[in-house]
Each structure stands twice: as C-alpha cells, then as structure tokens.
Structure 1
Amino acid sequence: MSIFKIEELRKTFTNGEVREDILKGINLSLEEGEITALVGASGSGKSTLLSIAAGLQSASEGQVIFEEKNLLDMSPTQVRKIRASSFGFVFQFAHLIPFLTVEEQLMLMLDVSESKLNKKQQKIEVNKTLLLVDMAHRKDAYPSLLSGGEKQRVAIARAIIHKPKVFFADEPTASLDSKRSKDIMSLILKLTKTFNIATLIVTHDASVYQESIN
C-alpha cells in the first residue's frame, strides 16, 4: 500500500541571474514494507530530494503527500510533529550524541517522539530494539567505544525505535567497508519488512543495495 508520494516535485536554486533546476518534475511513491533505492552520481540532487521528502527543506513546486496530506501545505510545527512521530532518519555518519550511552540515545528518541511509554516500558522497548540490531550487549557503551558499523547499527535502532511509518536513509553505508555495508543494508531490509516501513534509500552505489536483496 502506498503511504507516501511525491508528485511533480521541482527544486530551483537561483544565484544572481543564474537559475539552476536541481529537481525537474520528480514523481515517486513508497510502499509499506518495501525499499525504494534512489541511485545516482554525487551532485545529481538525490540528497536534496530526500531532504524535501523528509520535510527538512522546501520545494519550488509539487507535492509531498504523507497519509493523503501534503507536507508542503503544512506549518513548520505540523511538519516537525510528523517527523518526530512518523519518520525515521539515518545518514552517512551516525551523528550519535557523544555524552550519551547507546541506551540513552534510544531513550532520548522515545522522548522526542512523545512516546506514551513510562520509563520502565521505554527501557524494555530499547532492549528489544537493540536485540534486533545485535547491539544489546553494547547498551552501556559510549559512541567513542563503538566501531563504525556499530555506530550505524545504533543510529538505525534510534531511527526505528518509535516505529516510524517512513524511513529515510541518506548514503547509510558510504563510510563503511564492503562487508559492513552489506550487513547494514541487509539489516535495513529486515527492519523494513519486520515493521512494514516504507523505506527510501539514497545511494551512489547500486551494487551494495542489489547484493543485500539477492
């Protein structure tokens, strides 16, 4: 079922008299439980499209429709609430908070998403999520003690702990070696299916994505 759509999306930047069309009438739809990969060279507008889709940037024209509502017609406050409750994000670098443990990173996400769970229930949910990404044994570790692959697993756990409906990943394996890249892509695929999430991945390397689904 299509839960998220982009229709005739355009993004134009102007610098003085120079006009540059970055996105020209883009259309796509995301289905629950499926991954859509956006593949292209650096500078082709992939990250710009993802940023607009996630409500982090405005578009020049078009629509970004989530659950039959156009995000581009909403106020910044309304979009922030949707991002916090219904979207999950992972980027090339994990962007973990250095002074929080792995467990605390996920607890914070539950607070940001306005989870109705009490602290005891939150801890149970955190442990369940960390088990899914094979990081429960590292819940008391700080980011400085984690490898690159471990950091990305924690970032993914943080992104899905509130059970988002749409998951955005911007070059999630670009800073990892080939084995860890394949592991991370396989993990994203597993979580997409497990939680029936609509996932949009931006990558310049289609081979990593293709290997993970074969």
Structure 2
Amino acid sequence: MSFFTMDKVKKVFMNGELKEEILKGIDLSLQEGEITALVGASGSGKSTLLTIAAGLQSASGGDIIFEGENINTMNLEQIRKIRAHKFGFVFQFAHLVPFLTVEEQLLLMLNISESKLKKFEQKREIDRILRLVEMNRRKYAYPSSLSGGEKQRVAIARAIIHKPKVLFADEPTASLDSKRSQDVMSLIRDLTKTLNITTLMVTHDEEMLSYADHIIKMNDGVILHNEDLTPKL
C-alpha cells in the first residue's frame, strides 16, 4: 500500500536572474516494505528529490503526502518531528560520533527521537538491533576501530533504532568495496522486508539495483522510466 506520495513536485533555484528548474513536476509513490532506487547522471535531480522527500529542503511546488499529511505545507518544527520520529537516514559516509561507542551512537538516536522506552528497555532494544545488523559483539567499540563496512552497519542500526516508517539512503555503498557494498545492500533489503520499512535510495552503482523493488531513472529533473521489479501474482 502506498502511503508516501509526491504529486507534481517542483524545485526551482535562482542563479542570479536566471531561474534554474531542478525538478519539473515529479509524481512518485512509495510502497511499504519495498526499496525504490533513484538512478541517473550527476545533475539529473535524484539527490534533490530524495532530500525534498526527506524534508531536508522544501519543494517550490507540489504536494508531498506522508500518512495523509502534506509535508510541503508544514512548518519547520512539524518537519523536524517527523524526521526525528518517523524517518531514518543513511548516507555515503557513516558520520559516527568519534567519541561514542557503538552502543552510545544508538542511545543518542533514541534520545533525539524522544524515545518513551525506559533505560533497561532501551538497552534491550539496542541489543536486538545490533544483532540484526550483526554488530552486537562490537557494541563497546569506538568508530576508530571499525572497518568501513562495520561503520555503515552501525549507521544503519542508528537509522532504524527508533522504528522509522521511511528510510532514506543517499549512496549508502559509494564508499565501500564491491563485497562490502553487497553485504550492506543485502542488509538494507532484509531490514526493509522484515521491519516493513519504506526505503528510498539514491545510487550510481548499477550492481545495487538488483536489490531494489522499483527503479526510477531520472534525467534533467524528470522521470524517464519507472520499472517495477516486484513479483506479479
């Protein structure tokens, strides 16, 4: 079921007196428990589309409907609460806090999301999530002792610890080698399915597209192709 839709979404920048249209009326629906991959050349608008969907920047026009509400008409505090409580983010680099252990990285996210869990419940939930990403044995480790793949696994754990509805992944494997990229994408796919998350991902790596349920190819601010890879009954 689609519960996140974008209708005629536009983004315009002013470059001096020149108006530059980055997104030209995008229509898009995202499904629960599925991965949608955005692909396209540099400058095609895919990263702009992801950041607008995630509430990290505003659209110049159109509607972004999430759980029946229009994100594009919300104020900054309303958007902040949605990002903190219902969205998760994974980027090209893990951006872990260097002086916090793996466990403390996740505790920080629970605090940001204003978790109602008691302390012992938070610890139990952290252990559960770290087992899901196969990092439970490293929960007292600091980022400096982790490999690139391990850091990204912690970043994914941090992104899902507060049970988000939507996961936004911007080039999540771009800094990893081929084997670690496949491991990370396999993890994202498994978590998307088992936790029934809606995942929107930007990637330039065509090998990662095999993990997606939908592939959207963009160019010059428009969608050229929308391919549905989900099995048909």
TM-score bucket (shorter structure): over 0.9
Counterpart of 2:64 in structure 1 is: 64
Q: Secondary structure at the match of 1:4?
A: strand
Counterpart of 2:198 in structure 1 is: 198
Q: Secondary structure at the match of 1:144?
A: helix
Counterpart of 2:7 in structure 1 is: 7
Residue 45 of structure 1: how far off its partner (Å): 1.4
1:114 and 2:114 matched: yes
Give the structure with the larger helix fraction.
1
Residue 212 of structure 1: how far off its partner (Å): 7.5
Q: Is the 8 A contact 2:37 2:212 kept in 1?
A: no
Residue identity opposite 1:58 in structure 2: S
User: 2:211, 2:68 → 1: CA distance?
Assistant: 34
1:154 and 2:146 matched: no
User: 1:156, 1:61 → 2: CA distance?
Assistant: 31
Any residues of structure 2 matched to 1:91-130 within 5 Å, and which? 91-130=91-130
Any residues of structure 2 matched to 1:170-189 within 5 Å, and which? 170-189=170-189
Runs of 4+ in 1 over 6 A off after TM superposition: none
Identity %: 70
Worse overlay, 17-26 or 151-160:
17-26
Q: Secondary structure at the match of 1:84?
A: helix
User: 1:102, 1:183 → 2: CA distance?
Assistant: 19
Q: Secondary structure at the match of 2:20?
A: strand
Residue 205 of structure 1: how far off its partner (Å): 1.6
User: 1:107, 1:187 → 2: CA distance?
Assistant: 21
Residue 68 of structure 1: how far off its partner (Å): 0.9
Residue 209 of structure 1: how far off its partner (Å): 2.5
Residue identity opposite 1:85 in structure 2: H
Residue identity opposite 1:75 in structure 2: N
Q: Is the 8 A contact 1:168 1:201 kept in 2?
A: yes
1:40 and 2:37 matched: no
Counterpart of 2:167 in structure 1 is: 167
User: 1:44, 1:189 → 2: CA distance?
Assistant: 25
Q: Is the 8 A contact 2:149 2:180 kept in 1?
A: yes
Aligned length: 214
Residue identity opposite 2:64 in structure 1: V
Counterpart of 2:74 in structure 1 is: 74
Q: Is the 8 A contact 2:84 2:112 kept in 1?
A: yes
